[in-house]
Chain A
Amino acid sequence: MSWELSMRSRVGLCFVGSLLLIASVGAQQSAPGDGQAAVQGARPNAVLKPVSVEGGNWRHALASPKAPQIPWRSDPNFLTLPAGMLLGETMGIARNSRGQIYVFTRLGDASRLLQFDQNGNFMREIGRNSYAFTMAHGVYVDAQDYVWTIDEGTNTVIKWNPNTARPEMILGRRYESLEGLGPAIAPIPPPHPYAFNRPSDVVVDAQGNIFVADGYNNNRAIKYDKNGRFVASTIGTRGREPGQMHLPHSITADNAGNIYVGDRNNGRIQVFSNDLTLRTMYEHVGSPWAVCISPGPHQYLYSSNSNPDQNLAAVNAVTGEIFKMELDGTVVGKFGKAGKQLGEFSTVHDIDCRNDNEILVGEIVAWRAQKLRLGATGATGAKGATGAKDATRTSNTK
């Protein structure tokens, strides 16, 4: 595969200090001319200057600035926890086929996997005190309702049987505690087909093949068959060349088995065929912290250009929205913005889009999950009514 590294769009990024951002986006040809026009997403990797300023791992200046707003509202407090229990950083959220909700959160001394019914009422906890959990990163539910946890502390991706609430398959291995505290300058061990280093996400395709985003240090996507045997991997080196990654943070698949990797610090979504051959990249939707593809015959791709968790005002002003796209990268619209109020986003870390018009998000900084109704201007949710004033946003483009 040869890639034209043509300068179809030149983007100048200039940071003054670490806060003030002046983005001269010359890439207007990739933004819609009018509010509803399609945004052409698929394009070869433009030659971009790496952003090297401190904390400059955002590429939000590339996010489509004129995408139409999708109205949305938030149901506040849609999860009812056991008395006395509060969520921590909500790293993962996912629904099963019955609409039950799994939340994977950082709480107390470990990761906690909580299950709620369709109405958000607490049902049970899975995996408490297990060897699997120290630092939650994500949760995923496959087509058979198996629950998959990704724990970046134990370097494991675990398939939980929902009936027995016991692990059924373990990928990766927790470091032995005897290895102790290594020196900070110790080199990262070379990647190995069956070992992860701070993995971030997992997805299972229709055939049962397992795809792991691995992750903060190995910068690769890996394919295993349904029995956990290694099949293929992407390049696995950090960088900006096509196929290279800089923090693959989220992974999802469409009905055809294509794999979408949220290449977070490169500010692009890389799309691979099922054998992990690179097909295209979408570079116009900011830093994809979380990606999700809705089910059904007409699938949509959601990607969150989450505001980084440093709470920098100038950055928050231009990040935080979630994009809704066609699978080819065409932006349908966007919703949300950075903020601490309900209806705003405090670093969205995971999206559940099993119900296309009722999105669940888990946030890091706000220690909460939200249920978002898209297109719900003026609608009254059962629980949403109380927070409607603050939680409702209307389109400003119509």
Chain B
Amino acid sequence: MRRSLHLVLLAAAVLGIGSSLAAQLRIAEIPYDSAPDVLQGLPDDVYIGEAAGVATNSQGHLFVYTRTGSPQLTLGTERHFHRGNGAARLFEFDRAGKYLREIGQGLYGFVFAHTVRVDQQDNIWTVDEGSGTVVKFNPQGQVQMVLGRTPEYLPMPGFDRVSSGPPPKPTGPVGTGVAGDEFDRPTDVAWDKQGNIFVADGHVNSRIAKFDANGRFVKSWGSLGTAPGQFNVPHSLVTDAQGNVYVADRENRRIQVFDNDGVFKTQFINVGTPWTLCITPGPNQYLYSSNSNDPREFDRDGEIYKMELDGRIIGRFGRAGRLPKEFSTVHAIDCRVDNQLYVGELTSWRVQKLTLKTK
């Protein structure tokens, strides 16, 4: 066991990873405080489940896209229809954390929450892993655009009486992924200054899809694999002011950076398993990345890294755990105000507001 560890370390050093490992050992701990009970005033029969997505708008309002149940299947029908039926819900809170309203209650595509993000015009975007849709709401909460389509029914091999079955999945040469917005368990959405839309797609297709501001498909890149430009669960993505795209390539334990056209630029391999990313606005941008603990594991990982955009680590904070200030599988970070973060967690059903104490 120890020998193999040495071998791994040796190999890592040979590959030039050793220096970054050594750097990681010297990473500064960033002191911080947490306000764990951020969300107040929920109606008695409304509960936050897994806080998969959190995001603020320019007013400081907080949006939480949460897993609150399981989709329901209609039995006794020729096909197996399924509906979210309250399994994913989107709530809005004011800047003090007071409950304001629910958006899109019972919406067709609200099946299994994954992410919510707010763009520069305060439009609210949800990414639903269960329905395979990315939905744009205007600030009033009306649907403005839908990318992807919810499958009409749930294919159940061996039980389907429909001879045609599900449509065959489009395939193409390695690197092209699938065209258009046929998402399969998408995970995240981001935009550049021109309004181009980037979708991380996702748990199955292992690619990034780019659309113009009108939702027209432009291109996509990536496939399942470990080479630069390939992904194994692209789980989160953000863009910087120059339009570069940062992808949390979770199962490959790296952050990949692409230019606006998807050309690979660099990768960061020194921040553990990146579950979720956030990039601050303003002239001096910072990148946050969470090395979230596996939902079944609380004895290691869990910390969040603060980085320069070139990958240099400024510091780290937090660890896995269930107490306030500890992290239970962070799944979303909002960093609209630098050093004042909201984090949403999977294995504790809460949102924490963190204040980093930097010099």
Contact = CB atoms under 8 A, between A and B. Distances in A.
A131 B68 contact: yes
A227 B295 contact: no
Given A131-B69, A131-B349, A134-B70, A169 B50 contact: no
B46 interface: yes
A32 interface: no
B87 interface: yes
Interface string A242-272: 0000000000000000000000000000000
Contacts of B322: 169-170, 227-228
Interface in A161-176: 165-167, 169-170, 173-174, 176
Contacts of B129: 178
A274 B348 CA distance: 27
B130 A178 contact: yes
Contacts of A166: 47
Contacts of B295: 173, 194-195
A228 B47 contact: no
Contacts, number: 74
B241 interface: no
Interface residues of A, number: 28
Contacts of B87: 177
Contacts of A170: 322, 328, 347-349
Given A170-B349, A178-B129, A129 B45 contact: yes
Contacts of B296: 173, 192-195
Nearest to B111: A177
B68 A194 contact: no
Interface in B67-86: 67-71, 86
Interface string A111-154: 00000000000000101111110100000000000000000000
Which of A125, A169, A180, A195 lies at the interface centre, i.e. has the most chain B CB atoms within 10 A of its CB? A180
A174 B69 CA distance: 10
B234 interface: no
A167 B321 contact: no
Contacts of A130: 47, 49, 68
Contacts of A181: 156
Contacts of A173: 295-296, 346-347
A128 B154 CA distance: 27
A230 interface: yes
Contact of A194 (B86, B130, B156, B298): B298
Contacts of B49: 130-131
Contacts of B44: 128, 165
B347 A177 contact: no
A229 interface: yes
Nearest to B350: A167
A230 B298 contact: yes
A25 B348 CA distance: 51
A128 B348 CA distance: 18
Nearest to A173: B295
Nearest to A131: B49
B160 interface: no
A178 B349 contact: no
Which of A170, A173, A177, A229 lies at the interface centre, i.e. has the most chain B CB atoms within 10 A of its CB? A177
Nearest to B86: A129
Contacts of A180: 154
A132 B69 CA distance: 8
A386 B112 CA distance: 51
B69 A129 contact: yes
B321 A227 contact: yes
A173 B296 CA distance: 8
Which of B87, B299, B322 lies at the interface centre, i.e. has the most chain A CB atoms within 10 A of its CB? B322
B297 A194 contact: yes
Contacts of B328: 170
A127 B299 contact: no
Interface in B309-349: 321-323, 328, 346-349
A132 B86 CA distance: 14
Contacts of A229: 298-299, 321
B345 to A, nearest CB: 10
A177 B349 contact: no
A228 B46 CA distance: 25
Interface string A216-244: 00000000000111100000000000000
Nearest to A124: B44
A181 B73 CA distance: 11
A169 B323 CA distance: 8
B185 interface: yes
Contacts of B67: 131
Nearest to B329: A173
A128 B45 contact: yes
A122 to B, nearest CB: 14
B112 A177 contact: yes
Contacts of B156: 181
Contacts of B111: 177
30 contacts: A125-B45, A129-B68, A129-B69, A130-B47, A130-B68, A131-B47, A131-B49, A131-B50, A131-B66, A131-B67, A131-B69, A167-B349, A169-B348, A170-B322, A170-B347, A173-B295, A174-B50, A177-B87, A177-B111, A177-B130, A180-B154, A192-B296, A194-B295, A194-B296, A194-B297, A194-B298, A195-B295, A195-B296, A227-B322, A229-B299
* 9 residue pairs, one from A and one from B, having the closest CB atoms: A131-B49, A130-B47, A177-B70, A195-B296, A228-B322, A192-B296, A128-B45, A173-B295, A194-B296
Given A131-B49, A170-B349, A193-B299, 10 more contacts: A130-B47, A131-B50, A167-B349, A170-B347, A173-B296, A174-B50, A178-B185, A193-B297, A227-B323, A228-B298
Interface of A: 125, 127-132, 134, 165-167, 169-170, 173-174, 176-178, 180-181, 192-195, 227-230
